[in-house]
Amino acid sequence: MATKAPIRFGAIGCGGAGTDRIMQLAKHAMGVQVVAAVDINPDRLDNLEKRLGYGVTRYTGPEDYRRMIDEAGVDAVGIFTPHLLHYDHVKYALQQKKHVLIEKPMVCGTAKAVEITRLLESTGKVGIVHYQRHYEPKFVKARELILKGAIGEVTNFYVYMAQDWAGREWRSDPALSGGGQLNDSGSHYQDILLWMTDLLPKSAEGFADCWHHDGPRQVEIDSMHHIELSNGAHGRMIIVGDILGGFQDDVRIRGTKGDLMFYGNKVLMRPHGGDIQEVPCSLPKGYPISPCDNFVKLIRGRCRQNRVPFLFGVRVALLTEAMLQSAHQKGTRILCSEVLKKAKLALKDIA
Ligand SMILES: NC(=O)c1ccc[n+]([C@@H]2O[C@H](COP(=O)([O-])OP(=O)(O)OC[C@H]3O[C@@H](n4cnc5c(N)ncnc54)[C@H](O)[C@@H]3O)[C@@H](O)[C@H]2O)c1
């Protein structure tokens, strides 16, 4: 039971993801009161209030996130809006010194992602990107194994994810989507590769098309890239939006000593020349169970480690930018150092 005054929370964007995150926060044992919400679709606010079982201060204008942050007395803000709106929303929330939970992809474009991260650092507030795979036992275990050298130095990888991604509503609008499926669900797989290996992206070369079985779209649906990481490891990243039916993924990492891969929720390892072994995995004691849990506990001072700091949003923004540039330039190899240079940044800014 909460012993302190509840954290006063305001949400920007109350669609599918927003409602799910807001409900997780509202149910958190350490006390979160959802006091306000903004969505340009009033039906979404009706639904949210129904789910919460109580009313919130409602805002419905496209710029009303400012009014909500100014007027509603919130301590913390959740940003669950279309991708290219994230930058304005998070920037204003941080300028007004609010804690921020932000959906992926954090902010589109490396320069803006670094700007927001520096702004967050200047406030001393909590900022988490909602990459929920950082809380899944299999990925947590895989990162631990890779970082302690269980498969040796990472040399290669294969990352594949496919989903019937029709690009509904804003997702296929280039002015809101910021890069189609590669920037949407694909963002998780760029993140998980960079997070598990703790390496930085070095270059990307590949292609994308805009074809879904329901017809052409104006944003990237399927893509395939060859990616190089900062230690020279290289591999393939295939992000598909045009599959018939359900979700699939396959992530394999090769090191100098062996391979690591997944089967459902299992982590499998195979030393070179040896047999496949299953590695038991569960979250370490005290590990938060979700980004929402981590967010509340950090604000409450009940845990110290932020498992998805904005830095990971920056690294993904850089890789996404390189992948998109390459796809738009007929597969030219794009060096991340050049992307950084154009943004007047250097590797040290994302290290
Ligand atoms: N982590 C995950 O697994 C996951 C899953 C789904 C979505 N997401 C992310 O969540 C975010 C939202 O996606 P979604 O699926 O919930 O989309 P959605 O369309 O269901 O919800 C977006 C909401 O934002 C509202 N909106 C649009 N412009 C607005 C504005 N100016 N001010 C306030 N509200 C505005 C829309 O009316 C809509 O209700 C995206 O960043 C997406 O990538 C993450």
Would you list the domain boundaries of the chain?
7-132+289-309, 134-286+313-349
State the Cα–Cα distance between residues 327 and 82, nearest whole angstrom: 22
The secondary structure of 44-62 as a DSSP string is: HHHHHHHHHTS--EEE-ST
Domain at 7-132+289-309: CATH code:
3.40.50.720
Read off the pLDDT of residues 99-152 as tens digits, 9 standing for 90 and up: 999 999 999 999 999 999 999 999 999 999 999 999 999 999 999 999 999 999
Confidence at residue 3, expressed as pLDDT on a 0 to 100 scale: 62
Half-sphere exposure of 29 (CA within 13 A, CB side): 5
For tokens 């992307």, name the residue. Answer: 339
Read off the pLDDT of residues 13-32 as tens digits, 9 standing for 90 and up: 999 999 999 999 999 999 99
The listed CATH number (3.30.360.10, 3.40.50.720, 2.40.30.10, 3.40.50.970) that belongs to domain 134-286+313-349: 3.30.360.10
Nearest CA to ligand 1 atom 31: 62
User: Treating both helix axes as pointing N-terminal to C-terminal, what angle do 16-26 and 291-300 enclose, rounded to 10 degrees?
Assistant: 40
Residue 89 CB less than 6 A away from ligand 1: no
Measure Cα distances from 257 to 152, 159, 251, 281 in Å. 5, 19, 17, 20
CA angle at residue 95 from 19 to 89, to 5 degrees?
Answer: 35
| Tally of CB atoms within 10 A around 332 | 12
Read off the pLDDT of residues 228-262 as tens digits, 9 standing for 90 and up: 999 999 999 999 999 999 899 999 999 999 999 99
Q: 279 pairs with which residues across the strands? A: 267
The secondary structure of 160-177 as a DSSP string is: EEE-B---TGGGG-HHHH
131 and 195 in contact (C-beta within 8 Å)? yes
Taking the whole predicted model, whether its pTM rises above 0.95 is answered as yes
CA of 268 to the centre of ligand 1 (A): 34
CA of 79 to the centre of ligand 1 (A): 8
State the Cα–Cα distance between residues 69 and 194, nearest whole angstrom: 33
Helical (H) or strand (E) element with 189: helix 185-197
From the alpha carbon of 187, which atom of ligand 1 is closest?
A: 43
